[in-house]
Structure 1
Amino acid sequence: MTAVEAEAGRLKEEADEPGWEVDPDDEWGVAVITTVGRQLKLRREAAGMRAAEFGRVVGYGEDMVYKIEGGKRIPRQEFLDKADEVLGADGLLSAAWEDVKKVRYPKKVRALGKLEARAVEIAVYQSNSINGLLQTPEHARAVIGAAQPPCSPDDVERMVAARIARRAVFEREPAPALSFVLEEGVMRRPIGGTMVWRQQLERLLEVGRLHNVVLQVMPMNCETHSGTDGTIELLKFADGAAVGRADGEFNGRPTSDPKQLRILELQYGTIRAQALSPRESLAFIEQLLGET
């Protein structure tokens, strides 16, 4: 097999990966992908190439080319780069990735990601799972894959990719202040199996040692617990605005009302006081790792 054939085979395998279908309910996503597909088709036709011929050159099947051009399949960055080269688009098709990558993930996750990207402070108490910002890809896949009714393989991969993309918050400059409180019981549940569980615990240690992160564990033997109503999330922004949400307050809806935010801040502050200290929490996670 030649290098060209090997590369073509690799691209076709990637094209068939789940999670790259366009969500028909995502109007913005449909508009972006349709526009990119239309531009691709116009340039292919202007170059005098049939879909089958173009597909052979870029390593995709004719059917996949039609799906991308028809706005039914999200093109990968490698596909756009290869198409740009083959069709002599002078970087215009490659540049389309900047728009495509923004609609790669479900719109609800995009909305959350935008808030997290703006926040200067993020505080989360998670009652029944490890927060998505802290999850490894393998752990996220196991958690999402266990949902009932079950998600399709496409949806699982799409949601996993979206969840992992949110981890960009840890790479921001200036770094936001991040605070997490996790339940001990959650960290004792080996979702995905022992190796996936160990990798997740190692990820928690890695994140918990960052200078801008405070990670705490709520122990199971805590006799007073102010977080039994469920998850609490608080995000604060540079302009002084804030938004919060709690499972047990305000019907679980996001709120920016100052009085309601003070209630959530009081609840979260009390939970932090009841949890193990950051130093004790990291030691506890290290202990869990040693038990495997």
Structure 2
Amino acid sequence: MAEVRGGGDSGDVRPELEEDLSEVSDFLKAIGKQIKLLRERAGLTQKEFAKQVGYTESLIGAVEQGKRTPQRELLEASERILDAGGLLIVTSDDIESAKAKARVRHPEWFRGYAKLEAKARELHCVSLYSIPGLLQTEAHARAVFSMSHPLLSEEVIETRVAARMGRQEILTAWPRAVFGWVIDESVLRRPLGGWEVHEEQLRHLLRLGNCRGMVIQVMPLDRTESAGTGGPFILITPKGRPQMAYIEVQTSSRLITDQEEVRIMNARYSTLRAQAHTPQESLALIEKILGDR
């Protein structure tokens, strides 16, 4: 049984670690070296330079090492203070492009599961409190991250949204994996982000539920029995590897590889599918919720 700190679909409050800049690291290191060279040529220490540009010394150090992407404001201030002759300003657009690439990457605490998910041949999810991340619209994801507590910065929100949207590429990849979701009815009746956002989300579920290889089932509120009282979970079968399970709650998550535990969760999932509405009944219920508005 492996344990991973953090989470993905419901994990909105997590430690904010360094950006994952692996795909653009060489470029950012080159920019950092230019800033360091110009700073040293001007006879300034990192501390002195940081004070003049209005940033912390640790951030300047991270930028010079290529570990952080410099904001446009920092480039403009550096250009002026270091008399760079336009050398730093011309990199602004390239920096924005680099930030966009870094933005779609995942934080360290979720990277392991995300890599498994991207290679999944089967993925089955039980969701009792939220729309599964792979099924969320961009507006819904942004609303979810915006209501996190403690509050996330706008930059972090956009980073998380882009990462979540990037994960959804698996839904259109070919050959297509086998997908199944059991979603509690209460999730479909809670209009997170307002009705406009929620309506778009429900219609998105209808479109996905009509795609081959994607099965959406709803656990109705009037059921007197449920095998899901232990909480939400995901069963995932990566290419060339045994099936695993993934669970998360609050600020903790676990990637379960013990096959006996996985077998038990598989049995729970099978029971939940039998207790839930059929796929056709589930889509009809979503349409009814839309019509009742």
What is residue 17 of structure 2 aligned with on the other side? 25
Answer yes or no: is the 8 Å Cα contact 2:144–2:192 preserved in 1.
yes
- C-alpha distance in 1, partners of 2:247/2:195? 31
What is residue 180 of structure 2 aligned with on the other side? 179
Shift of 1:291: 1.5
Q: 1:245 to 1:215 in 2, by over 3 A?
A: same
Runs of 4+ in 1 over 4 A off after TM superposition: 30-34, 40-45, 66-69, 99-103
CA displacement, residues 113-164 of structure 1 (integer Å, 9 cap, x when unaligned): 2111111000000111111111111111111211222222222121111111
Shift of 1:206: 1.0
Task: Determine which of 11, 20, 26 is the counterpart of 1:35.
Answer: 26
- C-alpha distance in 2, partners of 1:121/1:74? 40
Letter in 2 for 1:38: K
Q: 1:146 to 1:203 in 2, by over 3 A?
A: same
Q: 1:24 to 1:193 in 2, by over 3 A?
A: closer
Q: 1:190 to 1:119 in 2, by over 3 A?
A: same
What is residue 235 of structure 2 aligned with on the other side? 234
- C-alpha distance in 2, partners of 1:252/1:34? 29
- C-alpha distance in 1, partners of 2:147/2:231? 20
Q: TM-score, normalised by structure 1?
A: 0.70
Letter in 2 for 1:197: H
- C-alpha distance in 2, partners of 1:271/1:110? 29
What is residue 50 of structure 2 aligned with on the other side? none
Shift of 1:240: 4.3
* Number of residue pairs matched by the alignment: 241
Answer yes or no: is the 8 Å Cα contact 2:119–2:238 preserved in 1.
yes
Answer yes or no: is the 8 Å Cα contact 2:104–2:159 preserved in 1.
no
2:225 match: secondary structure: coil
What is residue 146 of structure 2 aligned with on the other side? 145
- C-alpha distance in 2, partners of 1:286/1:74? 47
- C-alpha distance in 1, partners of 2:178/2:203? 21
What is residue 83 of structure 2 aligned with on the other side? none
Letter in 1 for 2:17: D
Shift of 1:43: 8.4
Instruction: State percent identity of aligned pairs.
Output: 33
Task: Out of 110-119 and 218-227, give the one that drifted further.
Answer: 110-119
- C-alpha distance in 2, partners of 1:253/1:69? 33
2:201 match: secondary structure: helix
Q: How does 1:193-232 map to 2 (within 5 A)?
A: 193-232=194-233
1:288 match: secondary structure: helix
Q: 1:270 to 1:246 in 2, by over 3 A?
A: farther
- C-alpha distance in 1, partners of 2:21/2:238? 30
- C-alpha distance in 2, partners of 1:24/1:245? 21
Q: How does 1:151-166 map to 2 (within 5 A)?
A: 151-166=152-167
Task: Out of 116-125 and 148-157, give the one that drifted further.
Answer: 148-157
CA displacement, residues 203-229 of structure 1 (integer Å, 9 cap, x when unaligned): 101111110100000000011111012
Answer yes or no: is the 8 Å Cα contact 1:121–1:177 preserved in 2.
yes
Q: 1:75 to 1:148 in 2, by over 3 A?
A: closer
Answer yes or no: is the 8 Å Cα contact 1:36–1:69 preserved in 2.
no
What is residue 128 of structure 2 aligned with on the other side? 127
The structure whose residues are more often helix, as a share, is 1
Q: TM-score, normalised by structure 2?
A: 0.70
- C-alpha distance in 2, partners of 1:239/1:273? 28
What's the RMSD between the two structures over aligned residues?
3.8
